[in-house]
Amino acid sequence: MDNNIQLNNVNRETIVAPITVVLTSPVIVVRISGLEAIKTFNLIQDRKGAQIAHIEPNKVYFAKFISLYDRFYDDVLVTYFKAPYSYTGEDVVEISFHGNPMLISSALRSFYDLGFRDARNGEFTMRAFLNGKVSLNEAEAIQEFISSDSDTSLRYAYDQMNGSVGVLFDSFKSELLNCKAILEADIDFAEDTDISSIYNRLLKIVNPLLVEIDELLLSYKSLRSISNDVNLVIVGKPNVGKSSLLNKLLDSNRAIVSDIAGTTRDFISERFLISGIPVTVTDTAGIRESTDEIESIGISKSLEVIGKADIILILFDVNDGDISILNDKSLDTLINSTASNKVIKVGNKSDLEHSIDASKFDIVISSKTGEGINNLLLTIKDMILNSRDIKPNSIGIVSERHAMLLEIVKSSLQSVVKNIDNNFPEDMIIFDLNESIRKIEDITGENYTEDVLSIIFNKFCIGK
């Protein structure tokens, strides 16, 4: 009669999550909280490569972080807060990594290997409340502040980009649900169907799916291993809005923006991810035909940067009647001689009155209102994928978490195939299918409930 026993939540799992947004930035901080947080020290070495014997609380250690997963390492800052003197009131370790999302992916995978799981939104704060570290009002204020429904900021970075992962995984899920419906209809309605024909139908769905997942994982791996960033250069006449476009792309305000032509006196380079691919964007100086020494240096540097660019984004002011590229002949010549599949012509300031026909541009945007920015990102992405010969599907996975979940999906489906091969019974096949569906749902963040029965009722004429 232990149905209604109430347990205290003492044995909470150890959780981990980046607490800064995972975009290319100087630093990304990852927090680990829970009873086993100090297991993290197994991944930390001092600069000479020796295990640090004793990590004291509340001190900052400059150390090497070594990923269990793929042996990558990073120079990091580690701080240990001993319970109850921490944000959550539990043992907490915080690590500041260099701001490369790829490193973070690998690090997170190491943490999962240690048995930690992703922190849900606001979970650190919830634990802080449960452990009496913050008042309810504080906890609620913080919770409400975190309004996104996605699990981690990794997901956030992705969701910003486009809905492609959703579409892709939804299609996987619906294929798997179809498989499940075939089996469930057979089990729940005991129609006298020939088992080998059912298994053949399953294999016809599962085998191609496995190939697709495999390709996805492979190209994800090759994606991770791209060592050189894609070079994207923004060029354009002064005050066409290059800096504000750059900012829009980075979704931050790191470059200085003003209305006075020529404020940007040097190149601004920033890195960010497009569908998991690191991109370095360079904003060329606002260039004028000028005797200004700095600007002249700018032009020769511009020539160099443009020469190395994978993608050139030429920005125009849609209100400016003159649509020559720049005011510099050498630059114009260089750009004109560049293959057209590397160039995107972008008309900016669509929020103001247009004086120019929009069809002269590949894309019209407003870096002020954000209009057209998503389209621009999609175009850039397509160009990158074309230039690197990457399967378009691999855009689906942007985080290590996705990749890991997908690997479980893969192994469950492999087990489906193996069990069918052995002619093992349907209950086993369903078990593995369920597992794979659950993992897909972990990626997409939604649950099926009545889906399968609905599929059965719609597709099969059921009931004697």
Partner 1 sequence: MLNKDVYDVIVIGAGHAGCEAALASARRGFSTMLITISLDKIAYMSCNPAIGGLAKGSLVKDLDALGGEMGRNIDATFIQFQLLNQSKGVAARSSRAQADKYKYSERMKKTLFSTDNLSIKQAIVSDILVNDRGVYGIKTLSDEEYCAKKIIITTGTFLNGKIFVGDKSYEGGRMNDIASTHLVSSLNSLGFEPIRLKTGTPARVDKRSIDFNKVEAYKKESIRRGFSFETDILDDDKIDCFITYTSEKTHKVVRDNTYRSLYFNNKDKALGPRYCPSMEDKVSKFPDRERHLIVLEEEGIDSNEIYINGFSSSLPIDAQLTAYRTIIGLERAEFIRPAYAIEYIAYQPTILKKSYETKLIDGLYFAGQINGTSGYEEAAVQGFMAAINATLSIEGKEPFILKRDESYIGVMTDDLTTKGVDEPYRIFSSRAEYRMRLREDNAEVRLLNYGKYFGLISDKRYRRYLEDCTVVSNTIERLRNTKIRITDKNIVDIISKYNIMLGESITAYDFLKRPKASYSILEEMSLVDTLSSQLKERIWIEIFYEGYIKKEEQEIAKSNKLEFIRIPQDIDYGKVSGLRLEQVEKLKKISPENLGQALRISGMTHNAISMLEIAIEKFKKA
Please pick, from the candidates 50, 190, 260, 339, the single residue that binds partner 1 as defined by CB under 8 A.
190
Sheet holding 117-118, edge to edge: 44-45, 60-66, 73-81, 92-98, 27-33, 15-18, 117-118
Which residue lies nearer to partner 1 by CB, 285 or 437? 437
Contacts of 180 (CB under 8 A, 6+ apart): 430, 433, 434, 437, 452
Q: Measured between alpha carbons, how far is 127 from 169 in angstroms, rounded to an integer?
A: 32
Please pick, from the candidates 120, 265, 271, 391, the single residue that binds partner 1 as defined by CB under 8 A.
120
Q: Measured between alpha carbons, how far is 65 from 43 in angstroms, rounded to an integer?
A: 6
In terms of DSSP bridges, do strands 27-33 and 92-98 run parallel, antiparallel, or are they unpaired? antiparallel
User: At closest approach, how far in Å is the CB of 286 from partner 1?
Assistant: 45
Q: Measured between alpha carbons, how far is 106 from 68 in angstroms, rounded to an integer?
A: 9
Please pick, from the candidates 122, 238, 278, 372, the single residue that binds partner 1 as defined by CB under 8 A.
122
Work out whether 143 is an interface residue with partner 1 (CB under 8 A). yes
Specify the stretch interacting with partner 1 by CB under 8 A; choose among 95-103, 186-194, 341-349, 368-376. Answer: 186-194
User: At closest approach, how far in Å is the CB of 415 from partner 1?
Assistant: 10
User: At closest approach, how far in Å is the CB of 140 from partner 1?
Assistant: 5
Tell me the CA distances in angstroms from 227 to 232, 401, 405, one per residue in order: 15, 21, 24
User: At closest approach, how far in Å is the CB of 406 from partner 1?
Assistant: 19
Q: Measured between alpha carbons, how far is 278 from 224 in angstroms, rounded to an integer?
A: 9
User: At closest approach, how far in Å is the CB of 198 from partner 1?
Assistant: 10
Residue list 163-182, contact with partner 1 (CB under 8 A): 180
User: At closest approach, how far in Å is the CB of 171 from partner 1?
Assistant: 22
Pair of tokens at residue 414: 């492999």
User: At closest approach, how far in Å is the CB of 416 from partner 1?
Assistant: 13
Number of residues in contact with partner 1, rule: CB under 8 A?
A: 48
User: Helical H runs in 114-237?
Assistant: 123-130, 136-145, 153-161, 164-189, 195-224
Contacts of 231 (CB under 8 A, 6+ apart): 279, 280, 282, 305, 308, 309, 310, 311
Dihedral of alpha carbons 139, 143, 144, 146, sign: positive
Q: Measured between alpha carbons, how far is 110 from 107 in angstroms, rounded to an integer?
A: 5
What x-and-dash track marks residues 409-448 binding partner 1 by CB under 8 A? -------------xxxxxxx-xx--xx-------------
Look at residues 173, 202, 168, 171 and name the one whose alpha carbon lies nearest to residue 185: 202
User: At closest approach, how far in Å is the CB of 431 from partner 1?
Assistant: 5
Specify the stretch interacting with partner 1 by CB under 8 A; choose among 142-150, 202-210, 216-224, 386-394. Answer: 142-150
Specify the stretch interacting with partner 1 by CB under 8 A; choose among 26-34, 361-369, 396-404, 450-458. Answer: 450-458
Residue list 3-62, contact with partner 1 (CB under 8 A): 3-7, 9
Residue 261, H or E segment: none
**Binding residues vs partner 1 (CB under 8 A):** 1, 3-7, 9, 120-123, 126, 129-130, 136, 139-140, 143-144, 149, 180, 184, 186-190, 195, 422-428, 430-431, 434-435, 449, 452-453, 456-457, 461-464
